[in-house]
Amino acid sequence: MPASTPKPAPSPQDRRRRRHQRYPADFRVMVSHLLENYYQKLEGHCRDLSEAGIGILLAAELNRGEVTGLSFSLPGSDRRWEMRAVVRYRSGYQYGFEFLSLTGEQQASLKSYVKDLKPMD
């Protein structure tokens, strides 16, 4: 049996490579999370968007791994989006959320929305 060739360890640059391109965005987002025995609703501000997640400026104390509810409308649309998302990143009050429950229609709408935007990275 031939010996397998070990794969080189990923470089720090490879580890930071995103699966989805980020795009600048500017709209309000409602974030709800469980705080003790009730759901607290907070207003945040979207800073960037991708097909898999959203960056939100939010004056709150959320932990990585915390599952939240998000509610927002994309600019130019009156359709309200409601979804679950998990906190994947935090730096101060800047949070990165990964969408957990996008419908096929929402995925298509996101792709359509970002196709004409200039990527951030």
Q: Give which of 59, 63, 120, 54 is closest to 81, Cα–Cα.
A: 54
CB 31 within 8 A of CB 67: no
Q: List 67's β-bridge partners, or say none.
A: 86
Condensed to tens digits (0 to 9), the pLDDT of residues 77-101 reads 889 999 999 999 999 999 999 999 8
* pLDDT tops 60 at residue 75: yes
pLDDT band for 16, please (50, 70, 90 cuts).
low
* pLDDT tops 60 at residue 49: yes
Quote the pTM value.
0.82
**Domain locations along the chain:** 16-112
CATH topology of domain 16-112: Thrombin, subunit H (2.40.10)
Can you tell me the mean pLDDT for 96-111? 92
* pLDDT tops 90 at residue 10: no
CB 120 within 8 A of CB 95: no
